[in-house]
Structures are given as C-alpha cells and as structure tokens.
Amino acid sequence: MKLAKHLKTGAAVLALGLAATAAQAEEMVFTSWGGQTQDLQKQHWAEPFTAATGIAVAHDGPTDYGKLQVMVESGNVTWDLVDVEADFAAKAGNDGLLEPIDFSIVDRSQLDPRFVTDYSVGSFSYAFVLGYDVNAYQADQPKDWSALFDLEKYPGKRSLYKWSGPGVLEAALLADGVAPEDLYPLDLDRAFAKLDTIKSEIIWWSTGAQSQQLLASGEVSIGQFWCGRVFLLQATGTDVGISWEQNLTSADSLVVPKGSKNKEAAMKFIALATSAEAQASFAVDSGNSPINVNSAALMPAEYAEKLPENFSDLGVDLDLAYWAANRDEIGARWYAWQAE
C-alpha cells in the first residue's frame, strides 16, 4: 500500500545516519516468529536497514528460548537480534543472557516506557483476543473468554498457545469469574482446574503462523490468538471474528543475545525498527500497536482505530514483572500438566 511504502522510505532515510559506524558488519541474523509477521518485519525494518547501511540481514526462526540459552552458555552465538515475548526478555536480562541496550544509539525517549528495560525494547505491543469462525457460531457470536470454556454452547476444537507464558492462565481465571484486579498472584490450582474442563478439545499452536492456519482451515472453531494474526486473516477475506472483551495486553521485545558477533549492527537495527516511521508502517500492515509514542500520528484514522490501545477499557494488562519472577515455576507445572 502507498502509505506503508512511503513510511518505509522515511525509515530508510532515517537509517542513513547509522551507516558509518555500522558498516564494519557485512551481515547480521534476525530471528523472529515466522509467517506474515516476520515477513512484515523484513519488509518494514530489515530491507530499509540494509538499503541504508549496506548490512545484509539473514532471517531465522521461529524464536526458540532454549536454543538462545544454549547459544549463550556455549559461547556459540549465531543470532544477533531476536524477537521474544516481554516476560522472557525480563527474565533473560536478569539471568545474564542478553547484551544491554545501547541507548546512545536507540532513542529511549521515543519509546513507550512500559516496554523498555536495560536489556530490551518493545518490538510491538499486542493483545491476546478471542478469535472464532463466524460461520460456526452464526446464532450467537462469542463475547468473552467464558465462551472458550463453554463446550455445549460453542462446540468444536479450540486453540491455545502452547508455551508457558502470560495469557492462557489469565483467560482461564477470567472465564471462571475472577475479577481483573484480583488476577495476581495467579491462583494456579483454579486456573488448571478450569483448563481441565476443555483439555480434550484443545489443539495447541506454537507460532503465530500456525495459529492462523488452524483457524483459517476450520481445524479449530474458536481460540485465543494474537490480535494481529486475526487481523491478517480478515485482510485476506477469511470469515473470522474477534472479541475485544477481556483482551490481554502484552508486547514482544527485541533483544541481543550476550556474545553476539554483530552487537553494534543489532543496535542500529533496533534504532530503525523502533523509529516512529518504521513502527507506524509495520502497525498499519500487521494490526499490532506501535511502541514508538510518535507513530500513531503518522497513521490514518482507519488503521489507528483498530489498534489494541483503543480497546484498553475492555482489556487487562498482563503483569510481566510477576511472570518474570515466576516463569520457571509456572512453566514446570504447565508442561507437566500438558503431558498428563
């Protein structure tokens, strides 16, 4: 589209000022989640970066936390920049797995402070939403997370995110009647008991691309999805619906693994990717929210109106600090439960 093309060009012009000190690197590796989101990151971030700096960007994926940790601990780091979930970024920074962000290169003042730490900056913000096959529930469209757990009224396979992290347990508790202000600390016994009621009907998704395929193909009728993935399906004409009631807001983060051989180039990439222009053009095409506070003003109203931040009155902010502190403990129980 013309807007996205114009904004991409603006980002490339911005990056011209980064070329001189980054030119020593010939190539860097950017790892993300695959599918359309990574395609858009390539289009709006990587290609302008290469055009401006001459540094080629190789793409890998999907993101794998265990692989990142092994790379760092073995000293054989082949990824230079990785798109991760914000709670993992917080924990990985605390665990010494990440390089500190060079804020002499990355302009921290332009970024939403909710999504910035010493070791990470937001990639984009998003919401977990209830997505569903419109044709499967024509008589009564699902409204909130309680529909996900109502097998009688809303039959069919349902899909949930496979990996341990913010989102699924909170949805289970909200569906069971817990008030948003009472979510934390999570009542794990209650959450797992609620999930038990639909366990036999769950098909897990592990990447955004997989979640789209499950819903588009009709393999699942309803589930929890990243809002941008539902928007991308709708943009292709797929008849899927979205409910913003009790949406769960979080973010992805950009991190540089400790020991990256192209650390400076990675910082330059972050500076471009988080610029107002690059964030705005990516948000227009992905349906996610920009983390640069100046991006919304660059977006036309028909796109800005779809941003998750416009539904914040219906949503719940996921407690990323709680998850960073409890990720390992919850993860152990999560994977044991899945294996039962």
Q: Which residue has the tokens 């569906």?
A: 175
Phi-psi region for residue 96, left (φ > 0), alpha (ψ -120 to 50) or beta? Answer: left
Tokens of 338: 């899945």
pTM attached to this predicted model: 0.81
pLDDT at 235: 84
Q: Residue 287 has which token pair?
A: 């349906």
Predicted confidence at residue 18, as pLDDT, reads: 65
Give the pLDDT score at 302. Answer: 78
Nearest to 90 by CA among 37, 166, 171: 166
Domain 126-250+326-339 sits in which CATH superfamily? Periplasmic binding protein-like II (3.40.190.10)
Query: Residue 268: its pLDDT value, please?
Result: 97
| Distance (Å, whole) CA 12 – CA 15 | 5
Q: Is 224 helix (H, G, I), strand (E, B) or coil?
A: strand
Give the bridge partners for 85, in sequence order. 252
Report the pLDDT value the prediction gives residue 311, as an integer from 0 to 100: 81
**Domains 2-125+251-310 and 126-250+326-339 belong to one CATH topology:** yes
Task: List phi, psi (to 5°) of 297.
Answer: -65, -20
Mean pLDDT by 10 residues, the chain (340 residues): 46 51 75 90 97 96 96 98 94 96 97 94 95 95 97 97 94 97 97 98 92 96 93 90 94 97 97 97 89 92 78 87 92 96
Angle, alpha carbons 188-67-319 (nearest 5°): 30
Can you give the pLDDT at residue 307? 79
Residue 310 and residue 292: Cα distance in Å, rounded? 16
Domain coordinates in residue numbering, the chain: 2-125+251-310, 126-250+326-339
- The b/e string for 159-186 (b: 16+ C-beta within 10 A; e otherwise) is bbbbbbbbbbbbbbbbbbebeeeebeeb
Residue 36 has a pLDDT of: 83
In this prediction, residue 7 carries a pLDDT of: 52
Question: Which CATH code, of 3.40.50.12280, 3.40.50.2000, 3.40.190.10, 3.40.50.300, is assigned to 2-125+251-310?
Answer: 3.40.190.10
